[in-house]
Structure 1
Amino acid sequence: MDIRNKTVVVTGGATGIGRALVLAFARAGARGVAVADIDADGAEQVAAAAAAEAPGCEVFARRTDVADAAAVQALADEATRRFGQVDVFCSNAGIILRKALDASAEEWQRIWEINVMAHIHAARAVLPQMLARGDGYFVNTVSAAGLLSQIGSAPYAVTKHAAIGFAEWLSITYGDRGIKVSCICPQGVQTKMLYGEKGERKGFLQDGSVTPEHVAAVTLEGIADERFLVLPHPEVLEYYRRKGQDYDRWLKGMRRLHDKVMQEFGNLPV
């Protein structure tokens, strides 16, 4: 897909990868970009920055809780009203919960709502208009954890696997009807999720981490090529191949990595 003259919705657009995506789409010639985030002030700031850098792009911000299906539908409706249609929906918002079996049922439910159900809400909100046109694009920010796993967070690993599964289903079910799907699957990205609010967090994914701007640039390349997997860390594909070739050997290797990480970082969340 050529992003020029297209309209885009980006959730989780106030910070990190979402912010970088908003700016990248605007600079690349998108006709309209909706910036959605639960942080209304942050979304407004990013929208203003995008409008300033790309005066020809119509940009607006809307506070949106992606766990709320009605809120996602209202976001899609406003974007459609303003732009005429939604060409690309970037379901980017996500959270991490650095817990294992100690995570409560309520915590599991919350991360499920944001990391999985938000993608489903997005599809329900805009798929009908996309199917009517025979054209549309879903860009879902997932994680390499969806292809591999996440040491130190059972809820994150599980929900990201589920997010990949839903994106695959979307592509299988609607790919021959003009619907494109891409999953952004980075490892460490230099955001607050990786480093913490004040940069206090230490973790093994910080080595080799990339900037949100790099993720956005690779994502635009992936959209142009209409690739399902968008891999800001290309080595993830080789890790995934090894997993498929010999699952038991891969699990042994992951157990060794787990032990190494625990020895180096102790009980710190990773």
Structure 2
Amino acid sequence: MSAARVVVVTGGTRGIGLGLSRELLARGHQVAVCARSQASIDEGVTVLRAGLADPGRVLGLVTDVSDRAAVQALWDAVSAHFGRVDLWINNAGLSAPRGPLVAQLPATVDAVVQTNLIGAFNGSAIAQAGMAEQAGGGWIWNMEGFGSRGEHQPGMATYGASKRAVHYLTEALVKDAKGTPVKVGFLSPGIVATDLLVGDYAGDPEGFEKVRRVFNILGDRVETVTPWLVDQMLGATKHGTRVAWLTKPKAMGRFMSAGFRKRDIFATGEA
């Protein structure tokens, strides 16, 4: 579809969200991003507007995605500014330092669940209601992560449980929205070198070094993954589509060729 679309990317000022936003703008679309602080909005919007002939194609708004009223205000502001919302990407996410659940601070667990799960609930509900009322409907995309499809590792209870719940939520939305003008999809970026990934090992540099080799085999950088993800989302037509970058065959191929290909996805300039 060549016509410009209006896209909301929650958590769109850093990491994968920022990468998705940049690729959408590069393809001529209009993008609204949200973050929890004005400083993050200012920084992200500055990056996204750099080099654009029309800076008005970028809108940034402070939004707490765990607050349903705030998410509704985001929808209302974007609709008023651009006239509609064609794609809503529930990307905002938090992780927690790896470790046993008993060692996780209650505030950390609450923040992860509120952002990853409640944020996806709120974004999905608001977008589904709004898109059902506009001509042509729209697409809701929910971001998968470790745990979404039943993966398990020690120390990942908080993040993994939140993402498993988001997967169930998305499956339910696919059923709920069947036969309506609103389509729902799963977005799976795989392992991407972001501050979220590195932050999982905050305070555990030895643990990070143990898994770094695997990350360098299976992982990629934001600028490698996001162009493909955006093209797949924009080209999707089937309700319930799952867009997945790291498939099992790709992972197997990566492991088989690991001895012949040296990569460091955490180094500047690695593609």
Could you tell me the TM-score, scaled by structure 2's length? 0.78
Partner amino acid, structure 2, of 1:143:
G
Partner of 1:212: 222
- Rate the CA distance shift 1:6–1:110 in 2: closer, same or farther, 3 A: same
Equivalent of 1:234 in 226, 242, 247: 247
Change beyond 3 A, Cα 1:236–1:109: farther
Shift of 1:82: 0.3
Find the partner of 1:225 among 219, 233, 236.
236
Which residue in the other structure is 1:51 paired with? 49
User: For residues 142-221 of structure 1, what are the structure 2 equivalents within 5 Å?
Assistant: 142-151=144-153, 152-196=155-199, 201-202=208-209, 204=211, 206-207=215-216, 208-221=218-231
Query: What is the CA–CA distance in structure 2 between the aligned matches of 1:230 and 1:53, rounded to whole Å?
Result: 29
2:16 and 2:43 mapped to 1: Cα distance? 15
Q: Are positions 1:113 and 2:114 aligned together?
A: yes
Instruction: Give the partner amino acid of 2:198.
Output: Y
Distance across 2 between alignment mates of 1:101 and 1:93: 22
Percent of aligned pairs with the same residue?
Answer: 24
2:269 corresponds to: none
Equivalent residue number for residue 258 of structure 2 = none
Q: Number of aligned residue pairs: give it.
A: 237
Distance 1:4 1:147, change over 3 A: farther
Question: What letter is aligned with 1:83?
Answer: F
2:139 to 137, 160, 165: 137
The alignment's TM-score, normalised by the length of structure 1, stands at: 0.78
Q: In terms of mean alpha carbon deviation, does 45-54 or 173-182 score higher?
A: 45-54
Superposition CA RMSD, Å: 2.6
Distance in 2 between the 1:215 and 1:203 partners?
A: 24
Q: 1:42 to 1:203 in 2, by over 3 A?
A: farther
**Displacement after TM superposition at 1:167 (Å):** 0.9
> 1:24 offset after TM fit, Å?
0.8
Q: Which residue of 2 aligns with 1:99?
A: 99
Secondary structure of 1:93's counterpart equals coil
2:247 maps to a residue whose letter is P
- AA paired with 1:171? V
For structure 1, the residue ranges without an aligned partner over 5 or more in a row are 240-270
Q: Is the 8 A contact 1:43 1:61 kept in 2?
A: yes
